[in-house]
């Protein structure tokens, strides 16, 4: 089975890959592969001040949604217990992804 997504959908694909694999895996450890296209959102500081724009957006989105559940990558949430919204960034969650994943960043999702 292949799970894929692009842009924000790619973030959903790599975030839910471990959970989905745990639900469908039988005796075959390679039952699920993930293809991530342009799901690498960069958390840079703004030009005018030292605010991490993507970090702020993720934090506000997390608060706005009144999230009762955490992100699906438990290992990442454990590392960032006080700031679980950081698990939306691949650089924080990468080491916790346990599913074979192909990452690429095509040009169509850039400005």
Tens-digit pLDDT profile for residues 6-16: 988 898 899 99
Instruction: Tell me what pLDDT residue 70 has.
Output: 67
Question: What is the b/e burial string over 40-70, where b = at least 16 CB atoms within 10 angstroms of the residue's CB?
Answer: bbebeeeeeeeeeeebeebbeebeeeeeeeb
Rounded to a whole number of angstroms, the distance between the first and last alpha carbons of the chain is 32
CA–CA distance, 72 with 7 (Å, rounded to integer) = 18
* Mean predicted lDDT score pLDDT of the chain: 81
pLDDT computed for residue 2 by the predictor: 92
DSSP class of residue 27 equals S
Task: Return d(Cα 34, Cα 10) in angstroms, integer.
Answer: 9
């Amino acid at each position: 089975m292949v799970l894929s997504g692009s842009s924000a959908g790619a973030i959903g694909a790599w975030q839910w890959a471990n959970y989905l694999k745990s639900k469908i895996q039988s005796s075959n450890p390679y039952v699920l592969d993930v293809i991530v296209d342009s799901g690498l959102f960069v958390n840079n500081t703004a030009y005018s001040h030292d605010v991490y724009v993507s970090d702020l957006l993720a934090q506000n989105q997390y608060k706005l949604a009144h999230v009762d559940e955490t992100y699906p990558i438990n290992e990442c949430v454990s590392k960032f217990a006080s700031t679980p919204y950081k698990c939306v960034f691949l650089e924080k969650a990468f080491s916790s992804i346990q599913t074979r994943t192909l990452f690429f960043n095509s040009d169509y999702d850039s400005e």
